[in-house]
A and B are shown apart, each in its own frame.
Chain A
């Protein structure tokens, strides 16, 4: 069955970096685009961007350029989100999600369990 297993919670100090992993199983990793979604405490879902698992080409939403980076290790079917120069406002749960298109519609059909990143001094 399709699974997206994310790495565990992180507690970081302001200015540090963090790398969140999302390991895929149960499907052919390179056949799907992987998305990242942020949810700040008590807030809604915010699309951060996606990465093409064939080309490695990332696309970032407005507000997620510069300090945010998406990467892959296709040998282990894993996508990564790295955030540098962490700020308190980066405190959130970060989700990876698989992007699927069929029959003229596109959607995020499977989600990781989420990784909580807390930035605090």
Chain B
């Protein structure tokens, strides 16, 4: 299966901007989507497509993509943004299903 690579951990000062990245060859062709997961909770979709937020997701969350890298940017990080963030995209090998990145643990200082 194809792979998506994320930094294991990132930290940001309260109110500052943080970028979480996701790298993989499939991202040259397919969009990534992004999920936030807080301890003991199910993942929640926060970004999809070129730069789309589901209803209820704050506009401090934005996305971009260049080459084989997709990025999730949080502008003005809040304490409630702390959690694990996962990217996913199409698996370009085998059954053409989905593949997740390993996840990035975001700490808001």
Q: Which residues of A contact B (CB under 8 A)?
A: 35, 37, 44-47, 49-50, 59-62, 95, 97, 99, 102-114
Contact = CB atoms under 8 A, between A and B. Distances in A.
Interface of B: 1, 30-31, 33, 35, 37, 42-45, 48-50, 52, 54, 84, 86, 88, 90-91, 94-95, 97-103
B33 A105 contact: yes
Given A47-B91, A49-B97, A105-B30, 10 more contacts: A44-B100, A44-B101, A45-B43, A45-B100, A47-B97, A61-B95, A103-B49, A105-B48, A111-B42, A111-B44
Contacts of A102: 49
Nearest to B45: A109
A95 B45 contact: no
Contacts of A59: 95, 97
A10 B5 CA distance: 32
Contacts of B30: 105-106
A79 to B, nearest CB: 15
B33 A111 contact: no
Contacts of B99: 47
B52 A109 contact: no
Contacts of B95: 49, 59-61
Contact of B102 (A37, A44, A60): A44
A25 B36 CA distance: 23
A59 B102 CA distance: 22
